[in-house]
Amino acid sequence: MQYPYDISVVVPLFNEEESLPELVRWIGRVMHAHEFSYEVILVDDGSTDRSWEVIADISAEDNAVKGISFNRNYGKSAALNEGFKRCSGEVVITMDADLQDSPEEIPALYDMIKHQKFDLVSGWKQKRYDPLSKTIPTKLYNGATRKISGIKLHDFNCGLKAYRQIVVKSIEVHGEMHRYIPVIAKWNGFTRIGEKVVQHQERKYGTTKFGLERFVYGFLDLLSITFVSRFKKRPMHFFGTLGTLSFVMGIGITIWLILQKIMGAYRGGRVRDVVDQPLFFLALVAVIIGVQLFLAGFLAELISMASTRRNEYLIKDRVGALQR
């Protein structure tokens, strides 16, 4: 298959007006030095500074640079999703706009996708220039993600990654799930996932846009994506199994109570009425919950079959020739 470009570089950003010109020049130098055909897609995630004006100026001077501007701040996942939908390079590189990711890593990442036949390669910032308040929670988060996903990566959250185009065209990211793109890719059948140690630069301009709350949200998203990835196409398997177990348990307890009363009456002993025993009401609750879970699974199956609409985000403006 012929691609318009060797490489598409997708850069999500929020309030990065100072770093953008330097970043684009740096990417350009690397691309020209290695004779790559390329495009740079800058996705402005509702910046409140002059980022969009800077993108428009850069695009007017350099036709390799294209821009998308969101009407408001949707988050990094939304920005990546829009960039993925519109990129057209054979290899897709993602990187942050704050100059902490080095464009010098692009040729090696390209080689791992193009010639070593990886589906996805994630950067690993082995030496970081971040405070302990970020590095310690990051280690815990990466450990939990490795355990749950079975993917042996050291740094899931590294913004510097490379993909075959078919990978980014086959997945959707939303919420805070950009951290779990390797997990999403694996559960979509792209299992050749590699890792490369990359250089981590000290932040040159501005301040970080993420707080500690991202780790809380990230853990909740990990639970969500684990469930959705495993049961999205077969929700009845999850809800139906739990519902059946609960229903059978409730019915079983009720039958046991009835048999116990019958045997007691047969022996002539004093036996409490079934409805006078707390265990009966627990059994009744189990039956009701079982029916509700089964119905939830049935409705989820109907929704899963009927829902085909992809995420859409309100885009305020575009510059450059972008795929629609």
**Structure confidence by residue, pLDDT tens digits, 98-111:** 999 999 999 999 99
The answer to whether 51 and 13 have CB atoms below 8 angstroms apart is yes
Query: At 27, which CATH number?
Result: 3.90.550.10
User: Of 27-41, 136-150, 151-165, 188-202, which has the strongest mean pLDDT?
Assistant: 27-41
My answer on whether 145 and 293 are in the same domain is no
My answer on whether 88 and 209 are in the same domain is yes
Give me the mean pLDDT over the 34-43 stretch. 97
My answer on whether 53 and 141 are in the same domain is yes
My answer on whether 149 and 258 are in the same domain is no
The answer to whether 31 and 62 have CB atoms below 8 angstroms apart is no
β-strands 5-13, 65-70 pairing: unpaired
My answer on whether 128 and 251 are in the same domain is no
Mean pLDDT value across the chain: 85
My answer on whether 223 and 256 are in the same domain is no
My answer on whether 241 and 292 are in the same domain is yes
My answer on whether 43 and 151 are in the same domain is yes
In a domain, 312, yes or no: no
My answer on whether 225 and 251 are in the same domain is no
My answer on whether 271 and 214 are in the same domain is no
The answer to whether 105 and 26 have CB atoms below 8 angstroms apart is no
* Local confidence band at 58 (pLDDT 50, 70, 90 cut-offs): very high
My answer on whether 114 and 146 are in the same domain is yes
Task: Give residues with Cβ within 8 angstroms of 286, minimum separation 6.
Answer: 246, 247, 249, 250, 253
Q: What does the DSSP 8-state code read for residue 104?
A: G
Whether the predicted model's global pTM rises above the 0.75 cut: no
3 state SS for 50-100: CHHHHHHHHHHHCCCEEEEEECCCCCHHHHHHHHHHHCCEEEEEECCCCCC
In a domain, 313, yes or no: no
My answer on whether 58 and 135 are in the same domain is yes
Number of domains in the chain: 2
In a domain, 315, yes or no: no
In a domain, 284, yes or no: yes
Task: Give residues with Cβ within 8 angstroms of 44, minimum separation 6.
Answer: 13, 14, 51, 52, 55, 67, 68, 69, 70, 79
The answer to whether 170 and 190 have CB atoms below 8 angstroms apart is yes
Phi/psi for 200 (5° steps) reads -105, 120
The answer to whether 151 and 225 have CB atoms below 8 angstroms apart is no
Confidence (pLDDT) at 257: 86
Could you say which of 232, 267, 298 is where a domain stops? 232
Give me the mean pLDDT over the 114-137 stretch. 81
Q: Give the model confidence (pLDDT) of 178-230 as tens digits.
A: 888 998 898 888 999 999 999 877 766 766 655 556 666 666 777 776 676 66
The domain of 263 spans 235-306
